[in-house]
Amino acid sequence: MQGQSQQQAYDRGITIFSPDGRLYQVEYAREAVKRGTASIGIRAEDGVVLAVDKRIRSPLMERSSVEKIHKADDHVGIASAGHVADARQLIDFARRRAQVNQLRYEEPIDVESLTKEITDHIQQYTQVGGARPFGVALIIGGINKHGEPRLFETDPSGTPYEWKALAVGADRGDIREYLEEHYHEDIDLDGAVGLALRSLGSVNESGLRPEGVGLATVDVETEQFRMLTDEEVEEYLVDLDLLASEDDDPDEADETDDEE
């Protein structure tokens, strides 16, 4: 009880530390991320894969409008988990930065530079008063100018991390365990797509449906972001024996990604 009422004293103003040096508002923004469905990123030798768990509230909703993977630039894709409206702001921010870089330096923005511009932007919302933190985590994947695949995460504190493979959002713990067990550094893009789907499948016991999965790649050859079609996804799911029958009721949509 004592602990609880003490905590309450420090968690409402974003610009203050608690006595043990924590920023509660940032931690609560992380909870908003966990309320979102899972997003996964995997770096292969020849590209990066982004895969997301898409829950559609109703068959009448256009699936594209709950898209959680976005093209930030020709060579960069971003997957998100958490508060959808916040994610859109950050993705717009990313696109504008990519365009400005192209205009100013006449070359594509570096994936790492882009990530750090985004995390700088996020950090400001955790230190200066008058606004709340962004309730979203991003997975940023792309190819840098040396033709190398890069994969980054941004978290609500504004810290960038680079990963070989990661998951954010709901079930992130289980998916990460699966990835740690099955990922190997010389995986190729095709294998990474498979791993991404299998890791998603590992937390969806009744299997996956093509319309419940978003999948995109950026490969080192074309350096182009590409969303996979439903048919391509379905092919993978069949091959991987992950295809759920159409009648199966997908799990209840999580609240943050598809808020009612």
Contacts (CB under 8 A) with a copy of itself, residues 200-229: none
Return d(Cα 110, Cα 100) in angstroms, integer.
Answer: 12
Min dist CB 70 to a copy of itself, Å, is: 12
Q: Is 119 a catalytic residue?
A: no
3-state secondary structure of 29: helix
Question: ∠ at Cα 154 (75, 254), nearest 5°?
Answer: 100
252 binds a copy of itself (CB under 8 A): no
Min dist CB 154 to a copy of itself, Å, is: 10
- Among positions 21, 241, 246, 249, the unique one binding a copy of itself when judged by CB under 8 A: 21
3 binds a copy of itself (CB under 8 A): no
Task: Mark residues 50-69: x for contact with a copy of itself by CB under 8 A, - for none.
Answer: --------xxxxx-xxx---
DSSP per-residue codes, 180-191: HHH--TT--HHH
- Among positions 37, 123, 144, 199, the unique one binding a copy of itself when judged by CB under 8 A: 123
113 binds a copy of itself (CB under 8 A): no
- Residue 118: name the closest of 109, 106, 129, 131 by CA: 109
Residue numbers 179-198 binding a copy of itself by CB under 8 A: 179-180, 183
96 binds a copy of itself (CB under 8 A): no
- Residue 66: name the closest of 49, 84, 83, 93 by CA: 84
Token digits for 13?
């103003």
The number of beta carbons lying within 10 Å of the beta carbon of residue 196 is: 26
122 binds a copy of itself (CB under 8 A): yes
142 binds a copy of itself (CB under 8 A): no
Min dist CB 4 to a copy of itself, Å, is: 9
For 41, the enclosing helix (H) or strand (E) is strand 39-44
Which residue reads 């909703």 in tokens? 61
Q: Within a 13 Å sphere around the CA of 201, how many CA atoms are in the beta-carbon half? A: 20
Cβ atoms 75, 224 nearer than 8 A: yes
Catalytic residue among 15, 37, 119, 256: 37
130 binds a copy of itself (CB under 8 A): yes
- Among positions 95, 121, 164, 198, the unique one binding a copy of itself when judged by CB under 8 A: 164
* DSSP-derived secondary structure letter, 167: E
Min dist CB 169 to a copy of itself, Å, is: 11
Return d(Cα 167, Cα 172) in angstroms, integer.
Answer: 5
- Among positions 131, 148, 238, 239, the unique one binding a copy of itself when judged by CB under 8 A: 131
Min dist CB 233 to a copy of itself, Å, is: 20
Residues labelled catalytic: 37
